[in-house]
Chains A and B, each alone.
Chain A
Amino acid sequence: MSNLVKLLLGLIVAVLIISVSYLIKPILFEVSNKLMESERFVTVRGVAEREVMANHILFELKVSTLVDDIINESSKYEQNCQKAQAFMLAKGIGAQDIAMRSLEVFTNRRKDIPKNLVTCNLVVSTSKVLKARELLSSLDSLVKEGISVKVYEYQIAYGYTKLNDIKPSMVEEANKNAKDAALVFAKHSNATLGKIKQARQGLFSMQDGRRPELIKVRVVTQVDYYLKN
């Protein structure tokens, strides 16, 4: 009796071994296919570009006055500085957006002009970009009054602070653009695109736009798509 039980147990083990290998059969096949497929992918890049209106501007306006005597002729440069300030206010820049820095005095190296060049620095930091632009392009009306003003192009900083708002839709656009490129490869190989294996969002960059107040925002994404067929 106990021998028969042992024999039966042996039989069960034998059957189990065979059925396990029977079960493993297709899985082995599948695993090797999957391993192969995991190495099949296409790397593509997609770009999204958008031109946005700057929502902040920062620049420095210098007002210079030539005077012989800094103390007795102080009204001269003070007047010029005030005129420039009044001009800014008239152009719609709020008083709270204008900051005045300390005066600069330069002793002229030339003998045939007044001895000193006194410069007052007005720093404008405002969200009224269009009004500031208008101001900058009409600076010659200050010159017309005989006031020497300086705004250097490289010192005008345009800013855009809403990058986070446009980020998702731009990344989406770049990904779609990348997918279009991936489809070209798939078509060539009679394959279909599978899932995304890996995606890398590049850095957002800002460049000069078509007009000074426009900023070109750009992003490149790199996407690896699986190929299936």
Chain B
Amino acid sequence: MKNLTFLMIALLIASSMVVSAFMLKPELLVVAENYLNNKRTVVTKGLAEREVKADRVKIPLNIALRTNNLVETSKELADIKKRIMFYVKEANISESEVSFYALNTLEHVYEYDKGAKYTINLNGTIDTANIQGANKFIASTKAMLAEGINLGIGFNEVSYTFNGLNELKPQMIEESVNNAYKVAKQIAQNSESNIGKIKFANQGLFTISDTLIDDIKLVRVVTTITYYLED
């Protein structure tokens, strides 16, 4: 009698275990499948590129005058400043966008540097959003040179920049995402499956670089997207 009770208890517990195993079986299978599906992905990259017009330009203004007489040359310097301002106005650039920020008079103290006693150096910049005006001003440096004014604008010293990235960002990301999606779809087709949701996406860095034309900039972004593959 005692043995029979133990047997029955054992049977009860055993069968309840079997029942619960059957109950959990489909869930466990789903979990396993989820796990498998989670590993089934395709990673693609999408590129978006756009050429944009620079929206800001910085032109250096460097004037160097060799002289023996500071007082006289300072008058000449004032005249040159006036002439520069004349051309600035001519190019429709606002006067407030011109700054002269430093001045130094250098004594020529070495034997090899004989001739004039001093060089007066005046440094400044034009910083403006008026690209057209700036280009006009640069073109007029030729006329200034004819007047004896040398601004000393060297090769590559005029710097154009683009600052409107934030407005461009959403549409460029969209474009790069679409490009990435196209590739993912192609890959999925080849393996006879479908593209699912985005598992992971990285916007990537936006870069702004120079083109062969001074006032045109290239904005570029590469987005990386990992898609789920579904059957």
Q: Are B203 and A144 closer than 8 Å at their CB atoms?
A: no
Chain-B contact segment, one of A24-32, A81-89, A163-171: A24-32
The answer to whether the Cβ of A15 comes within 8 Å of any Cβ in the partner chain is yes
Q: Are B127 and A136 closer than 8 Å at their CB atoms?
A: no
Knowing A32-B30, A43-B202 touch, does A149 contact B20 (C-beta < 8 A)? Answer: no
Knowing A20-B20, A188-B198 touch, does A110 contact B108 (C-beta < 8 A)? Answer: yes
Chain-B contact segment, one of A92-100, A123-131, A179-187: A179-187
Convert A211-229 into 0s and 1s, putting 1 for each residue whose CB lies closer than 8 angstroms to a CB of B.
1100000000000000101
Give the chain B neighbours of A177 by CB distance below 8 A: 166, 169
Chain-A contact segment, one of B85-93, B99-107, B130-138, B142-150: B99-107
The answer to whether the Cβ of B153 comes within 8 Å of any Cβ in the partner chain is no
Q: Are B165 and A184 closer than 8 Å at their CB atoms?
A: no
Q: Are A227 and B5 closer than 8 Å at their CB atoms?
A: no
Give the chain A neighbours of B24 by CB distance below 8 A: 21, 24-25, 28
Nearest 4 A-B pairs (CB), nearest first? Answer: A10-B9, A21-B20, A14-B16, A150-B104
Give the chain B neighbours of A151 by CB distance below 8 A: 102-104
- Return the contact of A13 from the options B13, B35, B56 (Cβ within 8 A): B13
- Report the bound CA distance from A208 to B98 in whole Å: 15
- Report the bound CA distance from A154 to B71 in whole Å: 26
- Return the contact of A109 from the options B35, B111, B118, B200 (Cβ within 8 A): B111
Knowing A146-B70, A152-B102, A180-B170 touch, does A112 contact B5 (C-beta < 8 A)? Answer: no
Give the chain B neighbours of A212 by CB distance below 8 A: 99, 101, 125
Knowing A21-B20, A143-B103 touch, does A3 contact B70 (C-beta < 8 A)? Answer: no
Residue of A nearest to B178 (CB): A188
A-B contact count, CB below 8 Å?
A: 209
- Report the bound CA distance from A227 to B13 in whole Å: 44
> Min CB distance, A99 to chain B, in Å?
19
Q: Are A181 and B107 closer than 8 Å at their CB atoms?
A: no
Ordered by A's residue number, 24 sampled pairs between the chains whose C-beta atoms are within 8 Å are A6-B9, A7-B9, A21-B21, A22-B20, A28-B28, A39-B199, A39-B200, A41-B201, A42-B202, A43-B200, A43-B203, A136-B101, A139-B102, A140-B74, A140-B81, A144-B78, A149-B105, A156-B102, A184-B170, A185-B201, A188-B174, A191-B197, A211-B97, A212-B101
Q: Give chain A interface residues in 1-47, CB to chain B under 8 Å.
A: 3, 6-7, 9-11, 13-15, 17-18, 20-22, 24-26, 28-29, 31-33, 35-36, 39-45, 47
The answer to whether the Cβ of B27 comes within 8 Å of any Cβ in the partner chain is yes
The answer to whether the Cβ of B188 comes within 8 Å of any Cβ in the partner chain is no
- Report the bound CA distance from A18 to B97 in whole Å: 81
Q: Are B17 and A227 closer than 8 Å at their CB atoms?
A: no
- Return the contact of B107 from the options A14, A42, A147, A148 (Cβ within 8 A): A148
Give the chain A neighbours of B125 by CB distance below 8 A: 212
- Return the contact of B31 from the options A22, A28, A141 (Cβ within 8 A): A28
Give the chain B neighbours of A32 by CB distance below 8 A: 30-31, 34-35
Q: Which of B's residues lie within 8 Å of A, judged by CB? A: 1-2, 5-6, 8-10, 12-13, 15-17, 19-21, 23-24, 27-28, 30-31, 34-35, 38, 56, 70-71, 73-75, 77-78, 81, 97, 99-111, 113-114, 117-118, 120, 122-123, 125, 127, 163, 165-166, 169-170, 173-174, 177-178, 181, 197-203, 205-206, 225
Residue of A nearest to B205 (CB): A45
The answer to whether the Cβ of A153 comes within 8 Å of any Cβ in the partner chain is yes
Residue of B nearest to A173 (CB): B166
Q: Are A153 and B30 closer than 8 Å at their CB atoms?
A: no
